[in-house]
Amino acid sequence: PQQGDMFYDIEGDPHFDGGLEYLHGVWTGGQFRAFWGHDHEAEARLLAELLEFFRARLAEYPFARIYHYAPYEVTALRRLTTKY
């Protein structure tokens, strides 16, 4: 483990029109940070906020890692960054 490590998970709704990744959660430093989006406009905004959070955290802790629970997170982030 490295100081600043993050644990990341996504919750999505495949039945929402076009699908929706409505919650990105990050556990780090003993705290949970939630990034919520209830429509596609908010989904784009939360993605930008999430990526900025990751950038700032990694700037502060350059050896930190982002752990995720399944291949889904990487796949979803690739899809979202292409979409937005």
Q: What pTM, to 2 d.p., does this model score?
A: 0.91
Closest CA to 14 of 79, 68, 67, 84: 79
CB 23 within 8 A of CB 13: no
Return d(Cα 16, Cα 21) in angstroms, integer: 9
Return d(Cα 64, Cα 61) in angstroms, integer: 5
pLDDT per residue as tens digits for the range 30-70: 999 999 999 999 999 999 999 999 999 999 999 999 999 99
> Rounded to the nearest 5°, which phi and psi values hold at 34?
-110, 135
Under the banding of pLDDT at 50, 70 and 90, the label for residue 24 is very high
Return d(Cα 57, Cα 37) in angstroms, integer: 21
